[in-house]
Structure 1
């Protein structure tokens, strides 16, 4: 049966390589989703700023005052913009990590010694939970202000 064993070995390695590739692609999908969500969160801050500007302009027009001073009082960077940029940065960092993990995984499969990396899963989950919690707090704060 040595011939039968030799036939299975390349297929087993191929399956491991393909599983490593699927894992890489799932990390890329997660990164793209995180970047997209970060963009939406950052643009939400811009929407709130513009909405605030429209409301203030109407108040100023009602008082027959100049709106230039009011525009200068608006904050330039809102919390959602900062949070969105941080989420985008996390997505980009995750792309680089996933590429490194993919390459390391291929080397480990070739050498016959593969050790799963659990720390990134825990770190990613904790960071996403923190960003999600911060977004919830921000949205609650904004809704209470309006």
Structure 2
């Protein structure tokens, strides 16, 4: 107990809240990495499906003169890799934010960082919009 008779301030709740925030960022990062992997693998599936259709078209080409040309699906692979990179970047950001938060709690001055939350939300919305447009283009005849 300090000499002036006051009890020390217990910062346990602030540290635990900072840790929960860190774990939330990690869960979000893992979800992004997993979704990016699925999107990238979907592109690989589409390319293999394209090869199967082209083989079948080549087998029946002796009876038919139509040549089927399917679009490339490498965009989904690029989008998936970008989502994985964003997830990995968020992990590093989460660690830095957690350490900065602990330092700020110790010093008694905590300032929340809102810009990264807004930036992350906007980037995810853009990724979602691009994915929707891509899927609509791919599904059109």
TM-score (norm 2): 0.88
Q: CA deviation at 1:35?
A: 0.2
> Hey, what's the Cα distance between the residues in 2 that align with 1:93 and 1:121?
14
Distance between the aligned counterparts of 1:114 and 1:62, measured in 2?
69
1:38 to 27, 36, 39: 36
Q: Which residue of 1 aligns with 2:65?
A: none
Residue of structure 1 in register with 2:20 after alignment: 22
CA RMSD of aligned residues (A): 1.9
**Structure 1: gaps spanning 5 or more residues:** 65-69
Q: Distance in 1 between matches of 2:61 and 2:128?
A: 40
How many equivalent residue pairs?
A: 132
Q: How far 1:6 moved relative to its partner?
A: 1.4
Question: What are the Cα deviations for residues 102-134 of structure 1, in whole angstroms up to 9, with x where unaligned?
Answer: 000000000000000000000000000000001
Indicate whether 1:54 and 2:55 are aligned.
no
- The offset of 1:74, in angstroms, is 7.6
